Amino acid sequence: MPAAPAPRDRVAARIDAYKDRLVELSHALHDDPETAFEETRAAERVAALLEEAGFTVRRGACELPTALTATYGTGDLTIGVCAEYDALPELGHACGHNVICAAGVGAAIALTAVADELGFRVKLLGTPAEEEGGGKVLMLERGAFDDVTVAMMVHPEPGDAVDPRGSSTAVGRFEATFTGRAAHAASAPEAGLNAADAAVVAQVAIGQLRQQLRDGHRVAGIVRNGGERTNIIPERTVLEYEVRTPTGEELQTLRERVLDCFRGAALATGTTLDVRPTQPDYVELRHDPALMQAYARNLRAAGRDVPEPGPVPRGLGASTDMGNVAQALPAIHPGIGIDGAQGTPHTRQFAVDAASPAADEAALTGALAMAWTGLDLAADPDWRARALAARRA
């Protein structure tokens, strides 16, 4: 009788068996982009495929209609895999979340090949609204990660990124509304309180503030509503702004300095100011070194020519709600390279790259490397015990 396939081979075979459906999932999401908290069809596609693979699926998890959780197996160890599927307004999947989703679903399905033998659970978390809205933060706060020992996901990039010292920036986003008083711009401008002027004053003040900002601190914003007609003194303007810092601890200090610019603008123009957060704060990534080292090793075993870490990398500049997860439990968020990509995330070219054959290969390779990493953890008694102890601490 021939020997049974080794666990790593069984994991790889499961991905191979599902590769066409995983690529189909990636392309279906790419062709039908849905933005934050509107990912109805994407979530259903994920749920249906996981149910077919034997998972127990909970739709509308954490009171979020487009969130889901899917579990398979039993045991003290739960390996979590995150799948994002929201797109960007106007740009579609220019951040490659279709690749993230296919890779996450593939890794979760692949781990079912060894979960029963090694006595662990697999949990796929379908996490909406990463681009703006903080789906993972809300799911974390509402208990979706409470039973997860470690969490993984991969993000498409122009090249592989596996340095455990790599990070992201913290970000806080808010909406600022100035309210003034309308008046005829020609016959009685003195009767108005110009909310558009308040927006201009605030933006000029922020521009002056930038000279004094520390390296790595960023402020960006748009005017969403700047008035209705040229012959009406604008009585209402709405701006959306974000502040970013290398760490979550620095975020509030920068936010207050920026808000002072808005407060000063309201005072100068006689308008009133209302500020509300538009999403939970994202904090910076802190990768689990053991998980990242195992992932890098497995990515190389999957055929990638991944360079060894060099000098300490700087922050990615971008932000992710996976940072909040990674500060709550051992987790990783490596980059999976799309070979030959011509663009960078959040560009129209990268949206094209995210549906290329190289993107399909990245999704399958990322799935395999994550699944092998989960297998390594489950099969190593010492590492498994350390991971369980870290979650109990």
**Domain presence at residue 327:** yes
Count other C-beta atoms under 10 Å from residue 19's C-beta: 18
The pLDDT-based confidence of 316 (bands split at 50, 70, 90) is: low
Q: What is the DSSP letter of 181?
A: B
Pair (124, 251) in one structural domain? no
Domain with residue 367: its CATH number is 3.40.630.10
Q: Which residues 6+ apart lie within 8 Å of 216 measured at CB?
A: 169, 245, 246, 315
Mean pLDDT of the chain: 96
Q: Is the pLDDT of residue 372 over 70?
A: yes
Q: What is the pLDDT of residues 12-32, one digit of tens each?
A: 999 999 999 999 999 999 999
Q: Which domain holds residue 100?
A: 7-168+283-392
Q: Is the pLDDT of residue 315 over 60?
A: no
Residue ending a domain, among 259, 277, 295, is 277
Q: Is the pLDDT of residue 257 over 60?
A: yes
Specify the number of domains making up the chain.
2
Using the Cα atoms of residue 246, residue 247, residue 248 and residue 254 in order, give the sign of their dihedral: negative
**CA 105 – CA 115 distance, rounded (Å):** 15
Pair (16, 162) in one structural domain? yes
Domain with residue 229: its CATH number is 3.30.70.360
pLDDT of residue 29: 98
Pair (266, 334) in one structural domain? no
pLDDT, mean of residues 231-237: 97
pTM of the shown model: 0.94
